[in-house]
């Protein structure tokens, strides 16, 4: 094939197109046929069925036989919300390899070794440390009632609950349940879009919005907690224990995501659904259930606002 013909093939297969499918990995095939004189004729792009070998001609009995072999070029469509999908998936695979070899076994050993009351106490302790951030973000979202309840939880659990080791506030007759909130939620509450999806080593799935919001949350904690929580060595130690506890807590959920048709897309879809559900909860909107069967919903569908609002949460 001449250089001009090869260039024409590349132009046919690399021209961007509107993407309506859910996955960045949707395979497409362009069939280009060399003609006399070095020109190229291109058939319409067709989807490659599962199990079809790359390079096999399409099953078209009406097509005339030709002695010239077809040139089949396959490509991948990219999800509009995941422009770094190839890099993200490589990071995901590397992280899963480390988790299977090191983090997962250590976390399960931690779960078997440390008694459940001790693990629950550690979890309550870390949750209680985060309550002032929840309080501030409810104020930023103009929900003073929820902010007051969060402040009450923090005061009760920090004193009667022995520095937060026991969640006394959620029990009767106090009945102050734990609520999640963060600066990333505040950004989403006021309409800031998630931005590109990222899968980062040590951090895991996130978005640009959540990465910035989480960084602000982490900067706030040393300011209101003071020593020793503003010491890097202390934070590394407590952060490691907290990570092992969370890894052990979500072991079953992680295995379900890994068993999905495409584990990376399952993880991405679940993360985006959960984050949008938290923001929709702040608005009192209906939260659609998550479907673990992958590839049926795009990122834009997952992060879209639900059409029908549910019964609104009482504004406080």
Query: CA 150, 155, 157, 160 torsion: positive or negative?
Result: negative
Q: Where are the alpha helices (DSSP H) in the chain?
A: 3-14, 85-98, 104-113, 116-140, 144-159, 183-189, 208-225, 232-249, 251-258, 263-283, 299-302
pLDDT score recorded for residue 65: 55
Nearest to 284 by CA among 305, 314, 316, 241: 314
Q: What are phi and psi of 265, to 5 degrees?
A: -65, -35
Q: What are phi and psi of 71, to 5 degrees?
A: -105, 115
C-alpha span between 300 and 224 (Å, rounded): 37
Rounded average pLDDT per 10-residue block, the chain, 316 residues: 42 37 40 46 46 49 53 55 94 96 95 94 94 97 97 96 94 93 97 96 94 93 82 80 90 91 93 95 87 52 40 36
Q: Print the SS3 string covering 17-47.
A: CCCCCCCCCEEEEEEEEECHHHCEEECCCEC
Omega before 228 cis (within 30°)? Answer: yes
Count CA atoms closer than 13 A to 132's CA, side-chain side: 14
Question: Do 71 and 59 touch, CB atoms closer than 8 A?
Answer: no
Ramachandran area for residue 142 (φ above 0: left; ψ -120 to 50: alpha; else beta): left
C-alpha span between 124 and 167 (Å, rounded): 6
pLDDT score recorded for residue 145: 96
pLDDT score recorded for residue 38: 47
Domain map (residue ranges) of the chain: 26-48+67-77, 85-302
C-alpha span between 121 and 127 (Å, rounded): 10
Question: Strands of 26-34's sheet, edge to edge?
Answer: 40-42, 26-34, 71-77
pLDDT score recorded for residue 29: 40
Q: What is the CA radius of gyration of the chain?
A: 26
C-alpha span between 183 and 165 (Å, rounded): 25
Structural tokens at position 59? 């099953």
DSSP string, 261-285: SSHHHHHHHHHHHHHHHHHHHHHT-
Single pTM value for the model:
0.68
pLDDT score recorded for residue 11: 40
Is 243 in a helix, a strand, or coil?
helix
Structural tokens at position 275? 């984050």
């Amino acid at each position: 094939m001449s250089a001009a013909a090869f260039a024409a093939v590349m132009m046919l297969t690399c021209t961007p197109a509107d993407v309506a499918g859910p996955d960045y990995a949707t395979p497409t095939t362009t069939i280009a046929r060399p003609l006399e004189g070095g020109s190229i004729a291109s058939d319409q792009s067709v989807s490659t069925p599962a199990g079809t070998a790359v390079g096999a001609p399409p099953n078209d009995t009406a097509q005339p036989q030709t002695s010239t072999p077809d040139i089949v070029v396959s490509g991948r469509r990219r999800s509009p919300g995941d422009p770094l999908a190839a890099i993200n998936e490589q990071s995901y695979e590397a992280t899963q390899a480390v988790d299977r070899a090191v983090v997962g076994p250590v976390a399960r050993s931690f779960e078997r070794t440390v008694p459940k009351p001790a693990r629950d106490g550690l979890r309550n302790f870390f949750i209680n440390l985060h309550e002032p951030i929840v309080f501030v973000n409810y104020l930023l979202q103009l929900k003073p009632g929820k902010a007051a309840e969060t402040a009450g939880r923090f005061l009760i659990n920090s004193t009667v609950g022995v520095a937060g080791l026991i969640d006394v506030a959620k029990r009767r007759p106090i009945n102050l349940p734990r609520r999640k909130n963060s600066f990333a939620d505040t950004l989403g509450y006021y309409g800031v879009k998630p931005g590109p999806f990222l899968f980062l080593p040590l951090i895991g799935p996130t978005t640009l919005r959540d990465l910035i919001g989480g960084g602000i949350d982490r900067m706030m904690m040393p300011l209101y907690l003071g020593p020793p929580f503003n010491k890097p060595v202390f934070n590394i130690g407590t952060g490691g224990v907290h990570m092992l506890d969370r890894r052990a807590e979500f072991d079953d959920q992680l295995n379900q995501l890994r068993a999905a048709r495409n584990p990376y897309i399952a993880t991405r879809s679940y993360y985006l659904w959960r984050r949008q559900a938290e923001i929709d909860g702040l608005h009192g909107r209906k939260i659609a259930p998550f479907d673990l069967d992958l590839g049926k919903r795009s990122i834009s569908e997952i992060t879209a606002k639900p059409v029908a609002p549910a019964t609104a949460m009482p504004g406080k």
